Amino acid sequence: MDNISQKIKIFLEKYEINKPDMVYLVAFSGGYDSMCLLWALKNLTNNKIVAIHLNHCWRGKESDFEEKNCENFCKKNNIEFYSEKLPENVPKTETAARDARYEFFKKCAEKFGSTVVFTAHNKNDNAETLIYRICKGTGVSGLQGIAPVRDIFYRPLLDISRDEIEVFCREHKLKPNNDSSNKDIKYKRNYIRSRIIPELSNICDNVEDSLNSLSEVAKEETQIVQEYVNLILDKITQDGKIKTKKFLKLSESLQKRIIYNMFINNNIDYDRKKITGIWEFIKSASHLKSGKTCSLTKDLWVFASDKYIEVINKKNNRSHSSVNILKEGTYETDDWTFKIEKFTEKTDKYPKDSDNVAYVDLSDVVIDYQIRHRKDGDIIQPLGCFGSQKLKKYLNGKKIPNHEKDNLFFLAEGNEILWAINLGISDKIKTKDKPTHKLTFYERRKNGY
């Protein structure tokens, strides 16, 4: 077995993606790197392999020729091939093209039911990435370079040089595409490859190896720092939320490192300016009871208040479905359990408004309720009040942040809220003499039931 195939085999075993039922997708431009990877995987495994190709259409007939060359190679070698053309409205920039490629890869993963997408980044790519990140000022963490695994993307050639890959292709008589745009130095990575690295080679022999060694050192240093950060997070976090007062007692450097984690954990591109911007936002919102939100991406936001800090996903807001409660008993969904049961004991000790239990008086009523989230037009008569008010006003009075309001659960009768769970009961079901029923609500997602 040749050296490249042996390293790929070790990679598959290390990350436990050598299972025979896995579908392998290979990002296939038809260049030296991706053709080497596709050929090696084809001859190394018996897994189903799909070569996926995105035609950027930026070089006219040349782009179409390369797509056809990829298709012909796959037909000749009995490899499934799938391609699409990049939409015309995508800007012709490196960043836009990269984003479009990865969206295409994710769409293909869904289409073919795969959790493994291989990209052919190599040792030289990693060295070029480090130089680019040094210029961008991404710090020690950025010097870790290209990750061998990120989400569904796997990069088994990172320890292999471009020279080795070219030798492999010649030995196996492969005929890769030769993308003419790789020589265009208006693209930053091409400029680094053709101008910067040759200049650095005048200072240091084997500059790519030196840069990759720097990448390994940065990984080790970052791991040490992260272990310390995790210990701190354990002390200042509760239910996945960072306690604001404890966060503000940390050093400025540690605060910014925790913000950096927010970007990394959510696969969001970052730079020093973005991290500083979120840090300044958190400080400005840290005295607000209702809190504020600041956008990270289209759907991800940072929420900060005087109590806690968290990253929220606006796509995850709950639907407005409801479950009918028509008699005493236990009701369950995947997310929660609700019990309504008779309560005949006399008690002087009642649950707090914030508890998940309520003692109520349901005498002389027909049980016809729903457990649901809020809806437009909902009203509530707060305990101790003579009149009703809009639920929105009630929640504002409870200082509930806007992004949490749609996640709350309510016991409702039509548009009348009888129990705002963990917030308080309506005056209409308060106990006059002694409770007739006990209500209990367990939310599994929050409480782990």
What pLDDT digit, counting tens, does each position of 267-306 carry? Answer: 787 888 899 999 999 999 999 988 889 988 888 899 999 9
Predicted local confidence at residue 271, as pLDDT:
80
Q: What share of the chain in percent tops pLDDT 70?
A: 96
Q: What does the alpha-carbon distance between residue 232 and residue 14 come to, in Å, rounded to a whole number?
A: 30
In this structure, is the dihedral angle defined by the CA atoms of residues 351, 354, 355 and 360, taken in order, positive or negative?
A: positive
Residues 6+ apart with CB under 8 A from 186: none
Q: What does the alpha-carbon distance between residue 68 and residue 47 come to, in Å, rounded to a whole number?
A: 24
**Are domains 3-209 and 239-316 of this chain identical in fold?**
no
Q: What does the alpha-carbon distance between residue 194 and residue 184 come to, in Å, rounded to a whole number?
A: 9
Residues of the chain with pLDDT under 70: 179-181, 314-321, 445-449
Assign domain 239-316 to a CATH class: alpha beta
Residues 6+ apart with CB under 8 A from 345: 434, 435
Residue 128 — φ and ψ, nearest 5°? -65, -40
How does pLDDT run across 381-432, given as a tens digit for each residue? 999 898 999 999 999 898 888 778 888 999 999 999 999 999 999 999 998 8
Whole-number mean pLDDT of the chain? 90
**Residue 278: closest CA among 288, 270, 266, 287:** 270
The token duo for 324 is 């009918």
**Residue 289: closest CA among 212, 399, 370:** 399
Predicted local confidence at residue 316, as pLDDT:
56
Predicted TM-score (pTM) of the model is: 0.65
CATH 3.40.50.300 fits 3-209, yes or no: no
Alpha helices in 187-317 (DSSP H): 188-191, 197-200, 207-236, 244-248, 252-265, 272-285
Predicted local confidence at residue 449, as pLDDT:
31
Partners of 53 in the beta sheet?
A: 83
Predicted local confidence at residue 234, as pLDDT:
95
**Residue 371: closest CA among 413, 309, 429, 341:** 413
| Domain ranges within the chain, ordered by starting residue | 3-209, 239-316, 322-447
Residue 23: burial class (beta carbons within 10 Å; 0-12, 13-18, 19+): middle
Assign 324 to helix, strand or coil: strand
**Residue 388: closest CA among 377, 402, 398:** 377
Number of CB atoms found within 10 A of residue 346's CB: 8
Q: What does the alpha-carbon distance between residue 338 and residue 375 come to, in Å, rounded to a whole number?
A: 20
**Residue 405: closest CA among 374, 446, 383:** 374
C-alpha torsion 13→222→37→16, nearest 10: 20
Residues 6+ apart with CB under 8 A from 365: none
Ordered DSSP codes for 115-177: SEEE----HHHHHHHHHHHHHHT-HHHHTT-S-SEETTEE-TTTTS-HHHHHHHHHHTT----
Predicted local confidence at residue 318, as pLDDT:
53
